[in-house]
Amino acid sequence: MNLILFIASLSILVILFCLANNVSKLTTVTSTVDLPDKIAVIMHVGDINVFKEILTEYPNFFNNNEIDLYFSCNNTEVFQTLQNLFPESKVFKYENKGMDIGPFLLILKYLIQKNANYKYYIKLHTKTVKKWRDGLIYPLYNKLNYFLNDKVPSSTIELYGSENMTLNRQFELNYIPILNIIGRNYKKYESKFLKYCSETTNNHYACEPSPSFVGGTIFVFNDKYFNILKQIKNIDYEYSILEPGYIINDEPRNTHAWEYLFGYIVYLNNEKIKTI
């Protein structure tokens, strides 16, 4: 009997030791989760000559093994040029719709479907005016090594943009019904504008101080921000209502609504755009 009790006690001790060891391992794994190793560059090439200038002036966006490249364009010649220059990249040809926003939404859909897992996403496009373009791109390029070498997971969403191009503007109420985003972000977006709208503004402009956005939609966002973009309910629908061709921002339009929403998402999550 004593021998049986001894064996039973020994067995219990062994089981407890194994459980303690497993819990210790699980805790260690949970507390030391690393960021993904790679970065994604998502770039719309509307003008191949401007793209070649960007390639010459900012080469490290395009020649690093830790960066995966996703290009979009509107014509076959540019498509073939990009494939020849970057055979390992993903190149997509879309109709000329929504300027750089439309292709970005469709690549976003592709990345969501592929369960993409990057620590940062860099959104670029071939903005025509060089002074404006450089003002947007150079600060991000100057911080590229930080994005590449960052190993510390962030607990919050992050959106980085050029300090000189991070702007404030009154958001227009016309944008609200266009953006079909589910979850708490869209509900706050809608209710906040309706709350502050008044008859004196003809139900058009919000009456509160506006949050910031990156004018020109060239920015960097982290994996937590990407998780919010996954909440977009129907990307195909959002793409379908974007305006075709080149448009200017002289009145409320579906395409430019996204320029403001990208910044407003940060505001709704009690964060600020990280200007650089």
- Top pLDDT among 172 and 92 is at 92
Note whether 106 and 239 are within 8 A (CB): yes
Grade residue 21 by pLDDT with cuts at 50, 70 and 90. Answer: very low
The third-level CATH classification (topology) of the domain covering 39-165+216-252+270-275 is Spore Coat Polysaccharide Biosynthesis Protein SpsA; Chain A (3.90.550)
Residue 23: pLDDT over 80: no
Give the range among 22-26, 106-110, 247-251 with minimum mean pLDDT: 22-26
3-class SS of residue 44? strand
Grade residue 211 by pLDDT with cuts at 50, 70 and 90. Answer: low
Note whether 40 and 111 are within 8 A (CB): yes
Please enumerate in sequence order all residues whose Cβ is within 8 A of that of 24, keeping only pairs 6 or more positions apart, or say none. none
Residue 83: pLDDT over 90: yes
Cα–Cα nearest to 127, from 216, 32, 9, 25: 216
CA 124 to chain centre: 11
Domain ranges of the chain: 39-165+216-252+270-275
Cα–Cα nearest to 262, from 171, 137, 145, 151: 171
